[in-house]
Chain A
Amino acid sequence: MGAPLIGARIQRKEDYRFLTGAGQYTDDVTLPRQTYAAFVRSPHGHAKIKSINAAKAKAAPGVLAVYTGEDIAAAKLGGLPCGWLITDVNGQPMKEPPHPVLAQGKVHHVGEQVAVVIAETLDQARDAAELVQVDYEVLPAVADVRLARAKGAPQVHGIAPDNTCYVWALGDKAAVDAAFAKAAHVTKLDFVNNRLIPNAIEPRAANGSYSRADDAYTLYVASQNPHVERLLMTAFVMGLPEHKVRVVAGDVGGGFGSKIFLYAEDVVVTWAAKQLNRPVKWTADRSESFTSDAHGRDHHTIAELALDKDGKFLAMRVKTTANVGAYLSTFASCVPTILYATLLAGQYTTPAIHCEVTAVFTNTAPVDAYRGAGRPEATYVVERLVETAAREMKMDPAEIRRKNFIRSFPYQTPVALLYDIGDYDATMDAAQKLGDVAGYPARKKASAAKGKLRGMGYAAYIEACGIAPSAVAGSLGARAGLFEAGEVRVHPTGSVTVFTGSHSHGQGHETTFAQVVADRLGMPIENVDIVHGDTSKILFGMGTYGSRSIAVGGTAIVKALDKIIAKGKKIAAHLLEASEGDIEYANGVFKVTGTDKQKLFGEVAFAAYVPHNYPHDKLEPGLNENAFYDPANFTFPAGTYVCEVEVDPETGVVKVDRWTAVDDFGKIINPMIVEGQVHGGLTQGIGQALTEGAKYDSTGQLVTGSFMDYCIPRADDVPMFQVDTRETPCTHNPLGVKGCGEAGAIGAPAALINAITDALGVKDIAMPATPQNVWRTLNQKKAA
C-alpha cells in the first residue's frame, strides 16, 4: 500500500480537462437542429404591461416563435415554487405571490422576463427581441430594504400588505429583556448587510430539447443540483412525470448558490423545445446575469449585545429586515431565518438570544442563498457586536471572546442548534500565533511612520453545514428532504465508478471523493471515477450547497462502500471456504484472519460477475450498492480570522495587508483543495466588505449592472493568505468531516470591517468600504 490518501495533497483529476479547453459547460453543448432564445426583459422596476406587439419580431428573418405570458398561461404552466414554508409569528403561512415564468400583466423588477424570441441563430433571436414592442405603464417602485415598509411605500404585490412576506421570530424574548434590564453595558449597532450579486464567471445557461419518439425532454443546464431542478420543474411547474425529463448539469463554471434555484429560463426553453420540436438554447449575457440571477444578503439590522461588567455576554437582541426581492426564489424564505437566526450564538455561551426577522418584497431581483447564505449575515452581527463591545469596554478583543467561548460539548444554544464539538481556543490561539499578533504594535508604528493608519480585526465564526437532517428541516418548513445519495459500481475487473448526487462546480469532488473511495477500498486512485450531474446516470441527489458535499454526499458514498465490503466478505468467505465472520478486509485484500489465505478485491469482483463458483443460494451476483444518507445533525465548522489593513488617509484606499485564517473543518481529505476553498471564500468576503455592493435607484433601476460598476475583487485587491487548520472531528459522520466551502465568505466581512474601523478609530462604516466611503468617514470624523 502506498501513502494514505485521506489527508493527501492529490492533484486534481479534473484539471487536465479544464486546462486544455476540453471542459463541457452548458453553452458548449450544441445539439442537432439547435435554435436560440433571446429574452425580452423589463426595463422598469415596476410597471403594468398594457400590451405586447410581437408582429414585427415574428416576421423577422429566422424567427421561429415569440412567446409571451399569454402563451404560458394558455399552456397552464405553473409558477416557480418556493421550497421552504416559513410560518409567521401569528401562525400564518408566509405570503407567496405567484412567480410566473413569463410576466403576467405586470413586471416587478428590472430584468424580469416578459417574452422570449426563438430563432435559427442567436443574432437573429437578439435582433428580433429588439422588435418586440411592449407598452408599459410605469408604476412607482420601492427597492431599498429600509423603505419597503415605510408609510405610503408602493405595494409590490396585492397579496402582501406593507410588502411583508412574513414576520418571524426565534428565541426567548422575555429572558432577553430581563437580561438587558440588568446589563452593565449594552453595545448597539444599526447597519445594512449589503446586497451582493454572485457573479459566477460562467453565466447561467440552459438548452432544452424534446424527443417526440420518446415523448421525453432533456435539459442541459448550469445547475448545482440537477435532481432538485428536475423535481421542481416537473412536479410543480410543468406537470410532467419525472421519468420523462432528464436534467444534465455537466461542467458548471461556479455557482456560489446562484445556480441552486429553478429559474424561469430553464422552464421556458424546455417547454418551447416541445412546441418547436427543436432544441432551444439560452445563455445569459453578463447584463442578464446582473439583473436576473438571484442576489444575496441585503439585510437591515439593529443588533444589541448586553454584557456584565466583566465582559460576560448576557443576551443578544436582533431585529432584521430582509429583502427577498420581487418574488420568492427557491430557498429565499429560509435564508434570513433558519440559516441566520440559529447562528447568532456564534462561538459563545450567550444564554439568551432573541431575533425577529421581517422579510419584505421590493422591486428588485429575487434574493436567495449566496455563499454562506444567512450565516455570513449572522457572523457579521455577532462579530461586529463583540469587537465593538470590547473596544467600548476597553478590553482586548481576543480576551473578551475567550471569556465567552463555549468549552463543553455537546452544547445546546438558545437558538435551536446543538453543537456537537469544537475547540475555539485552539483556532484562536493558532490564528494569533500564525498572524503574529504579538508583532502588531511594531507594524502599527511602522505604518504610522509612513503616514498610514493600520488596524487589526478578528472574526471568530461558526457555521452550520452538512445541510441537513431532513426531519429537523421538515419541522422548520422545508418542503424537501435534505439527504444525499450515492452508488458504488464495482466493475468485473475491479475498477470502480461512483455516482454521487453531490454536484461539483469547482469543488473538486472528482478528486476528493475518489480519495475517499480509493482509501476505503485500498486501491489506486486511478481505478476510481466519480460521476455527477446527470439525472439519467445518478439515482438521486439533493445537490451542492450549504457546504454539504463531503459531510452528506461523502457519507452516502461511505455507506455504499460499507455495503460493498460486507458483500465482498461474503463472497470471499465462500471462495476461501471460511466463515464470513473470519474475513477481514484491508488494503484491497480479503483475508481469513490469522492465516495467509486471501483473495484480492479484483478477484472477488470478478467472482461476483462471473459467478461460476458462487453462493447463489445466499447472494445475488454483481457488486453494486446504493446508499441514501440523512445526516443526524448539522456539522459545525468554526475558526478564527485575523486581518490587518493599512489605510491611506489621503486617498481612503484600504490595503488588506495580512490575512490569517485558522479553520476547524474536522477531518480533511485533501488540504490543497480545502485551502483553495478558503482562499476563494475569503476573497468573496473581502469583496463584500471592500468592493461589492449592488445598488438600485428609487425607480428600481439597477445602477451596478456591469463589472465596471459592480467590482468583484481583482487579483491586486487581495493578499497572499496564511491559512491553517485545527481539527476536532465531527462526531456523527464516519469521516469526521464538517465541510469547508463557505467559511471564508462567512468570517471575512466582519474581520475586515473590524480592522477598518480599528484603523479609522470609528465605531462603524458601511460596507463596502470603498476609498470614497473610507475617505468620507475619516473626514466626517475630523469634522466632528
Chain B
Amino acid sequence: MAVKVSMKVNGKAVSEEVETRTLLVTFIREHLHLTGTHVGCDTAQCGACTVSMNGKAVKACSMLAMQAEGADIMTIEGVAKADGTLHPMQAAFKEHHGLQCGFCTPGMVMNAVDFATRHPGASEQEVRESLEGNLCRCTGYHNIVKSIMAGSKAMAGK
C-alpha cells in the first residue's frame, strides 16, 4: 500500500509516495538520494544510519518513513554550513583522525552532535558510553573519543 509522506529534510520540504513499510533510511537513501546515511546492520545495532529527527539522534533503519511524518530531519549532508564549512564536530573528527574508512562516520557525527548538545563537558567515560549504539571497526574508538571531546568543546565555544 502506498502512502504520501511529507517532512523537512535538511531544511527543505519533501513529499513522496512510499510503501507503508518503507523504512526512514530507505526513504532518505533511495527516494531522496541522500546516500551519506549508511546501512551497516539493519538491526539497530551499528548506528551507521543515525540521523537527527527534531533535534534528537535516531536510527533511521529502525523506523518507518511514515513515523517521520511532519518531522524535521537532518542528515549528514545537512550538517556543514551552506558554504561548505565543516561543523565544529566534523572539523574535530578531521583534526583528530576520528575516521578511517568513513562508513560509520556519518552516524558517529550525527550521534556526537546530539550528545554534545545535551551533555556539554562530558567525561571520556561518558563519551565512550554514548557510543554504545555506534560501532566502528576501523579506529578502535581512541580517536573518535578524542574527536567528540574536542568537538564538544568547540561547539560550546570553548
Nearest CB in chain B: distance from A743 CB, A: 12
Contact check, B104 vs A201: say whether CB atoms are below 8 A apart: yes
Given contacts A12-B97, A285-B42, A707-B46, contact A256 B142 (CB under 8 A): no
Nearest CB in chain A: distance from B21 CB, A: 7
Contact check, B99 vs A18: say whether CB atoms are below 8 A apart: yes
Residues of B within 8 A of A599 (CB): none
Given contacts A680-B139, A715-B145, A721-B140, contact A201 B100 (CB under 8 A): no
Contact check, B35 vs A28: say whether CB atoms are below 8 A apart: yes
Q: Compute how far the CA of A30 lies from the CA of B26 in the bound complex, rounded to whole angstroms.
A: 13
Q: Compute how far the CA of A715 lies from the CA of B138 in the bound complex, rounded to whole angstroms.
A: 12
> Can you pick out 16 interface pairs between chain A and chain B where the beta carbons lie within 8 Å of each other?
A11-B94, A15-B94, A23-B103, A123-B19, A200-B101, A202-B38, A506-B138, A675-B143, A676-B140, A676-B142, A676-B143, A679-B140, A680-B100, A680-B139, A683-B141, A720-B145
Does B80 sit at the interface, judged by CB under 8 A?
A: yes
> How many residues of chain A get a CB closer than 8 Å to chain B's CBs?
57
Residues of B within 8 A of A28 (CB): 29, 35
Residues of B66-93 whose CB lies within 8 A of A:
75-77, 79-80, 84, 86, 90, 93
Minimal Cβ-Cβ distance residue in B for A672: B97
Contact check, A718 vs B142: say whether CB atoms are below 8 A apart: yes
Q: Compute how far the CA of A681 lies from the CA of B138 in the bound complex, rounded to whole angstroms.
A: 8
Give the interface segment out of A246-254, A610-618, A694-702: A246-254
Contact check, A19 vs B43: say whether CB atoms are below 8 A apart: no
Q: Compute how far the CA of A19 lies from the CA of B127 in the bound complex, rounded to whole angstroms.
A: 19
Contact check, B36 vs A20: say whether CB atoms are below 8 A apart: yes
Q: Compute how far the CA of A508 lies from the CA of B38 in the bound complex, rounded to whole angstroms.
A: 20
Given contacts A286-B43, A676-B97, A706-B43, contact A201 B142 (CB under 8 A): no
Residues of A718-754 whose CB lies within 8 A of B:
718, 720-721, 744
Of the candidates B46, B75, B86, B138, the one whose C-beta lies within 8 Å of that of A19 is: B86
B121-138 vs A: 1/0 string, CB under 8 Å? Answer: 000110111011011111
Given contacts A253-B38, A256-B137, contact A721 B46 (CB under 8 A): no
B14-45 vs A: 1/0 string, CB under 8 Å? Answer: 00000101000000011001111111111101
Of the candidates B90, B104, B129, B135, the one whose C-beta lies within 8 Å of that of A707 is: B135
Q: Compute how far the CA of A202 lies from the CA of B138 in the bound complex, rounded to whole angstroms.
A: 11
Contact check, B138 vs A714: say whether CB atoms are below 8 A apart: no
For B95, B135, B142, the residue with the greatest tally of chain A CB atoms inside 10 Å of its CB is B142
Residues of A within 8 A of B97 (CB): 11-12, 672-673, 675-676
Minimal Cβ-Cβ distance residue in A for B142: A679
Minimal Cβ-Cβ distance residue in A for B104: A201
Residues of A within 8 A of B79 (CB): 20
Does A14 sit at the interface, judged by CB under 8 A?
A: yes
Residues of A within 8 A of B76 (CB): 19-21
Residues of B within 8 A of A283 (CB): 39
- Give me the interface of B with A, judged by CB distance under 8 Å: 19, 21, 29-30, 33-43, 45-46, 48, 75-77, 79-80, 84, 86, 90, 93-95, 97, 99-106, 109, 124-125, 127-129, 131-132, 134-145
Nearest CB in chain A: distance from B7 CB, A: 18
Q: Compute how far the CA of A200 lies from the CA of B75 in the bound complex, rounded to whole angstroms.
A: 22
Contact check, B95 vs A11: say whether CB atoms are below 8 A apart: yes
Residues of B within 8 A of A202 (CB): 38, 40, 101, 103
- Known A-B contacts: A19-B80, A286-B43, A673-B97. Give 18 more (CB < 8 A): A11-B94, A14-B102, A19-B86, A19-B109, A20-B77, A21-B37, A23-B103, A201-B40, A201-B103, A201-B136, A252-B101, A254-B103, A679-B141, A684-B140, A706-B43, A707-B43, A715-B129, A716-B131
Nearest CB in chain B: distance from A724 CB, A: 14
Residues of B within 8 A of A199 (CB): 137
Nearest CB in chain A: distance from B31 CB, A: 11
Minimal Cβ-Cβ distance residue in A for B99: A18
Given contacts A19-B105, A21-B36, A676-B97, contact A201 B45 (CB under 8 A): no
3 residue pairs, one from A and one from B, having the closest CB atoms: A21-B36, A18-B102, A253-B103
Contact check, B144 vs A715: say whether CB atoms are below 8 A apart: yes
Q: Compute how far the CA of A21 lies from the CA of B28 in the bound complex, rounded to whole angstroms.
A: 12
Contact check, A123 vs B21: say whether CB atoms are below 8 A apart: yes
Q: Compute how far the CA of A609 lies from the CA of B48 in the bound complex, rounded to whole angstroms.
A: 47
Q: Compute how far the CA of A697 lies from the CA of B75 in the bound complex, rounded to whole angstroms.
A: 41
Residues of B within 8 A of A27 (CB): 35, 39
Of the candidates A14, A25, A714, A716, the one whose C-beta lies within 8 Å of that of B125 is: A716
A13-41 vs B: 1/0 string, CB under 8 Å? Answer: 01111111111110110100000000000
Minimal Cβ-Cβ distance residue in A for B92: A19
Residues of B within 8 A of A252 (CB): 101
Contact check, B102 vs A253: say whether CB atoms are below 8 A apart: yes
Q: Compute how far the CA of A708 lies from the CA of B135 in the bound complex, rounded to whole angstroms.
A: 12
Contact check, B40 vs A286: say whether CB atoms are below 8 A apart: yes
Given contacts A201-B46, A676-B100, contact A21 B140 (CB under 8 A): no
Q: Compute how far the CA of A739 lies from the CA of B93 in the bound complex, rounded to whole angstroms.
A: 24
Residues of B within 8 A of A744 (CB): 140
Does A507 sit at the interface, judged by CB under 8 A?
A: yes
Residues of A within 8 A of B132 (CB): 714-716
Of the candidates A21, A251, A679, the one whose C-beta lies within 8 Å of that of B143 is: A679
Does A712 sit at the interface, judged by CB under 8 A?
A: yes
Of the candidates B35, B38, B48, B101, the one whose C-beta lies within 8 Å of that of A506 is: B101
Does A278 sit at the interface, judged by CB under 8 A?
A: no
Q: Compute how far the CA of A483 lies from the CA of B42 in the bound complex, rounded to whole angstroms.
A: 39
Q: Compute how far the CA of A507 lies from the CA of B40 in the bound complex, rounded to whole angstroms.
A: 19
Contact check, A200 vs B137: say whether CB atoms are below 8 A apart: yes
Contact check, A286 vs B94: say whether CB atoms are below 8 A apart: no
Q: Compute how far the CA of A616 lies from the CA of B107 in the bound complex, rounded to whole angstroms.
A: 56
Residues of A within 8 A of B35 (CB): 21, 24-25, 27-28
Q: Compute how far the CA of A693 lies from the CA of B139 in the bound complex, rounded to whole angstroms.
A: 20
Q: Compute how far the CA of A707 lies from the CA of B41 in the bound complex, rounded to whole angstroms.
A: 8
Nearest CB in chain B: distance from A126 CB, A: 11
Given contacts A683-B141, A684-B137, A715-B128, contact A286 B41 (CB under 8 A): yes
Does A262 sit at the interface, judged by CB under 8 A?
A: no
Residues of B within 8 A of A251 (CB): 101-102
Given contacts A25-B38, A680-B138, A706-B45, contact A19 B101 (CB under 8 A): no
Contact check, B99 vs A15: say whether CB atoms are below 8 A apart: yes
Of the candidates B30, B86, B100, B129, the one whose C-beta lies within 8 Å of that of A254 is: B100
For A20, A673, A707, the residue with the greatest tally of chain B CB atoms inside 10 Å of its CB is A20
Q: Compute how far the CA of A507 lies from the CA of B139 in the bound complex, rounded to whole angstroms.
A: 10
Does A682 sit at the interface, judged by CB under 8 A?
A: yes
Contact check, B36 vs A22: say whether CB atoms are below 8 A apart: yes
